[in-house]
A and B are shown apart, each in its own frame.
Chain A
Amino acid sequence: MDAFTTITGPAAPLLRANVDTDMIIPAQRLIGAGRDGLGRFAFERFRFNADGSENPAFPLNQAPYRASPILLGGENFGCGSSREGAVWALRDLGLRCVIAPSFGDIFANNCFQNGMLPVRLAAADVARIAEQTAASPSNAYTSVDLERQVVVTPNGEEIPFTVDARKRGALLEGLDEIALTMKRRAEILAWQARDTAARPWAWDPVSR
């Protein structure tokens, strides 16, 4: 997994509440899909008109935001389906961080699994970053520093945030969770042996 330390760039605003993972990528695009190349489908119902042309009103189609590494979101960003393709699609667009007042749980987990940082800030702070960016979009840069756990706004204001310590460590180092868990294989097998004796009813049915 890609490590995450500091990301800097223009922050694209998408402040509406309840942006669900169906909006981020329709399920039809994910039938048997792999992890790569999904960026072209990201927000496709909003990015493109019915005839396939770009919708110029959608922020990610506007010049300073096309290459944004940071997305500003509203409440409950990423709610809905557990599809990890939503994160893959955003990553493929070049995004590394979403800043929002709150996130769908499964989406936030999926972010951490893919080197993408979900940052929770108060709605007023997210709105202020959007305002400062909009004031001079072409040279307004926001920084997200995971090491220090601060967001530096375009005006230089530092806003602290907190990330679960375990997730932060894993992201900073780009850790592979499966490899970590595999080191505990003996513990897992011992637990299973104990549990088979303690709860035979949980194990008997599957042996039939």
Chain B
Amino acid sequence: MIAEKSSKTIDVQINKDVLVVGAGKAGLTAAAQIAAQGYKAVVIGNKTACACGAGCSKEMQDAGLVEIQDGTSLVDIAGVAGDFRVTLGKGEETCEVTFGAVVVAPQYTGVPLNSAYGLALNDKVISQTQLEALLADDAGKEKLVNGSGSTVAFLSGFGQEGDPTATGRVLASALEIQKLENCRSYIYAGNVKVGAKGMERLFTQGRNEGVVCFKPKTMPTIEQDKENVKIVITDPVVRADVELEPDYVVVEEGVVVGPDNLGIAQTLGIDADVDGFLPSNNVHRFPVKSNREGIYVAQNDVDAANVALQVKALIGDGVRTLTEDIAVVDDTKCVICLTCYRCCPHGAIFWQDGAAVISPAACQGCGICASECPMDAIQLGEFTDADLKSGVKEAVASAADATPSIVAFCCKNSALEAGEAAAQFGHEMPAGFRMVKVPCAGKVDVDFIMNALVEGADGVMVAACHEGNCKAERGNIYAGWRVEEIRQRLENMGLNKDRVVFTTIASNMAREFACKVNEFAEKL
């Protein structure tokens, strides 16, 4: 029986308030931008920036469009986009509040990286922040000048690779120091990070005003005793050691992910990148989306604007049209093994009344759950198992006259695009090559592949997005595992395992895709 193809839609009322987790500059700016679109923004966390300065005007606050709950923290979250039920806590007290969307504005802390240079902080070895504090007023500047002037050495980019923001702070301070009587700045940098607006000009200005910049290949040799610090590098041009005993050494600061950041990410069920920064490094989520619908990340003003766009597109006027049958669980088959709950990359699966339930508000339709379900209890409205099997049957039948016949399960986000492009651009492809569209390679389960072989395909290709480029985060990885499993099965049965291959491709690489398909056909 083939399930009805047409999707059923339903309009649901959703909550229009937005929770902003993080009351630094980015969080408050996001709140202001969201409030400017007419939605109420509730900001929690420890407030570290001026609300008015971030655009949260007094009018907005008076009108209740921006509500800042300084010191309140995120305890727990349930529900889905449009209906997040959030537990907030302050001290011993907790309360539950409903929000339509959630914005995370992580606050990272800077720590001096003195130990990376083998230095102990003291009166003369200070952090960039401490130096900026000294330069902020006359008393501090006088201390730096210390009667007869000082030399100040900056260490930058050896403890951590650094970025234009850090380099900008070093250059600004170095230029300030050059202005002080008899004071000189020396910068020891790994790579001078000028990759941001105005930075090359700032760097050039520094050089013109006498800031000396050394760029040794490796970290300078640094000796610190009670009183003094000696920095030694080898200059390749004069081929000699260059020694400096500065009056002050300024060490760079590294940005670190604190336990708070990781805790918030874990509570919200969103992925971080390898360094622990939010969100995960997936181009399809860029700039502000997370792996969960309705949860966004803002790190700066530009992100804040993009978050407001996303919130507006999600919440609109408070009614959201959802497709009911993106993925549906057959509750007569479900045994609540929780496989689907564990493998869903989008936090869209819950359970109630003895069966798993997939929320159409959070499901992104990848179908990983449907393939992983041991009871075959999950069907996607647009891609039912019956549809896919008949699709495979048709594909093999239509290619029956050609040798070899190849069925390629193509992810609609990448391989399908590349394949269509290859056809349109007239790149040569084998006559028996047929594509079967899948929502994500994660939807391709072992049965479909076996099915294609049983129907008579000479070869089966599963074509997914490159690792790290999957819209469902891990759909391509599941697909790779399943292909490997089948290849082993074929080998165990004494069959040629190379009749089934897994490959990854990008949507814009038509020629490369054609080359890969031709290579496969050649081998068959």
State whether these chains interact: no
